[in-house]
Structure 1
């Protein structure tokens, strides 16, 4: 089925000036922040390089191929660099921060779409343990360090650059884009033309009830695949578009599985029961724990993973035999209180999953949007 690469084949010969910016363009630009542009794109927001030149520099050495996170990313960058639509867009202000002490993973890049219009692309979660722990920290911490950094990044960009902005990101990056847009000062908010959240988590009720959030709702564009798990975490006050994916379950988080119809997404009317199942199960599990218990559980689980001395999930998976022994040994050596909390929470997760397994037909009561009806 058609995906972003088919879109680039069909629309890549037309510049933004000749054919207006659309939802699929936003998805592609959200994905560009996943590239490890270290030493290629300057941290200086005024020192720009075209996507074409950045791509040439990136692929000048085979070493960079090992840094690519997701299958399809290399092809996407090359396709953008060869297309009339994207090749002359300019990149600047690239930052990539991973701070274990703060439990923060943050990366972003400014993309100049046209004169006086820039897309700030926030990277989602990479495969580092730090990045994943920060995601789970959402269950007891607000704001996250990466959310605060995303806001500062927008404020600095707005101070240095004239014109308007579009914010966007995939996964956690989408959440960061929304956060920055609703917590920036009103003068900056007026300069934001749109916010794109591609399968990123929402927020708790206290946030979505704020006036600044409500004032941005009409500009927030949220997209989730039909069996979304990550994008259904927490609450969405804005309407969201359900995108048809060729994958199943967790793998629908992969944007290359999202189906495209000409210059927009192939959409559906409802989520699947799988999405409802995970949504209800996680909600029930969290409701059974207070904030301190959530914090202790998350820190306990990630301390077990850190004891493997691997820094990414890929490394843990590659060394799974030796790491399994290390994890069980670390669990055995934990203090009784933490060990009991981890075991009891995992058992409670199984119980919640069992309770929801046969009770997922009442589909989500959240807002839905199908652009095919427009």
Structure 2
């Protein structure tokens, strides 16, 4: 077993020789975290294609990966090295790079289209490209993989994630739908949508609401540990074709990807990391051309998911909005705009954060503590329910202890 780094290193078959698979979708979902505008080769306003290999060869890697989880991940440099040497990814081109952020409307959106030479296996029954490779240019067999970026390190990005708990649609979801529609109108051939974290939610949302023409060309939708939806974005979510298109994967201790998830059609991937650190794609276990799966989430993940879901369902959208907005305003009062900046001045920012909290009016402070208290109460009840033995189990344990005591005497 390995991860996506060892997968790239060992799988030297081209996409023409071995079609696109779920592990490839996680690779592209990771590649879309790169700051392509920083290398000077990618113009966000231009549809011109640039070889991924050229970007990796000419860009400063520190600049390329800054302000994302890749900046500190221990496998990042190995990931870049194997990509540089990869026969499979050597011919991949990127285009239609978009990177938008707005604190005013609480929006953080980025997406990259990867033009892949080769084949994508049609995933949906009756898909128009089933059984044949399709060209986006005359004489070329290729498809477009649209990768949506997950949350960056900005407060605006995290705030938009939290807004999913009370808003039916957030700005980056609208941008994702427009992006998919726009790319579909600019290229021909099959399409794949993918993303990690919030990017997985964006890929799924865009596929659900895009026009019928673009939807008919989709050959796969990959949501890697991204949250679900407060309400169903469209009736397509219940269609058999969409169920066949969608591949949702979560690590065994997933927390983020299970938020608002009500459907059972996800697969659980084994991870080499612990707890919340399993969210990092480099920790996901790979065997051959697919992930290493297990039957269910870990008990702790199921416990947290059920407790959080009960808390969310127990609060009105207005209560959730008020709580999230208040907490966000407290962090914003520190004058840091990213989590990295907050950590750089951790002591001073924490003191300022607590100081701002004490200046809140009594009603707001009471509301915050009651909200946190209700979550704590649910966690406590879930702990008791899940780990306290049933009366029959307790009686059996008592009898066993009594028997052991009698034997010792």
State the aligned residue count: 359
C-alpha distance in structure 2 between counterparts of 1:185 and 1:209, whole Å: 12
Residue of structure 1 equivalent to 2:191: 165
Work out which of the residue numbers 119, 124, 129 in structure 1 matches 2:150.
Answer: 124
Q: Secondary structure at the match of 1:132?
A: helix
Distance 2:57 2:238 in 1: 40
Unaligned runs of 5+ in 1: 362-374
Distance in 2 (CA, whole Å) between partners of 1:295 and 1:146 is 18
Pairwise CA RMSD = 1.9
Q: Does 1:30 align with 2:29?
A: yes
- Find the aligned partners of 2:55 and 2:238 in 1 and give their Cα distance: 35
Q: How does 1:1-374 map to 2 (within 5 A)?
A: 1-11=1-11, 13-38=12-37, 39-44=40-45, 46-59=47-60, 62-64=62-64, 66-70=66-70, 71=73, 72-114=75-117, 115-204=141-230, 206-207=231-232, 210-211=235-236, 213-214=238-239, 215-237=241-263, 239-360=265-386
Normalized against structure 2, the TM-score is what? 0.83
2:309 is paired with a residue whose SS is helix
Give TM-score scaled by structure 1 length. Answer: 0.91
Please say which structure displays the higher CA radius of gyration. Answer: 2
**In structure 1, distance between residues paired with 2:217 and 2:36:** 27
Quick one: distance in 2 between partners of 1:46 and 1:224?
33
In 2, the alpha carbon distance for the partners of 1:66 and 1:117 equals: 29
- Measure the CA separation in 1 of the matches of 2:298 and 2:90: 37
TM-aligned CA deviation for residue 314 of structure 1: 2.1
CA shift for structure 1 position 68: 4.8
Cα-to-partner distance string for 1:312-338 (whole Å, 9 max, x where unaligned): 112212322111110111111223332
Asked if the contact 2:34/2:65 (under 8 Å) is kept, the reply is: no
SS at match of 2:164: helix
Measured in 1, the distance between the counterparts of 2:77 and 2:216 equals 35
Q: Write the distance in 1 (CA, Å) between the matches of 2:63 and 2:145.
A: 28
Q: Which deviations, in whole Å up to 9, do the C-alpha atoms of 1:97-136 show, x marking residues without a partner?
A: 1100111111000000123410000001111111111111
Aligned partner of residue 102 in structure 1, secondary structure: coil
Q: Does the Cα contact within 8 Å between 2:205 and 2:233 map onto a contact in 1?
A: no
1:68-113 deviations in whole A, cap 9, x for unaligned? Answer: 5321334323322220111220011111111001111110000001
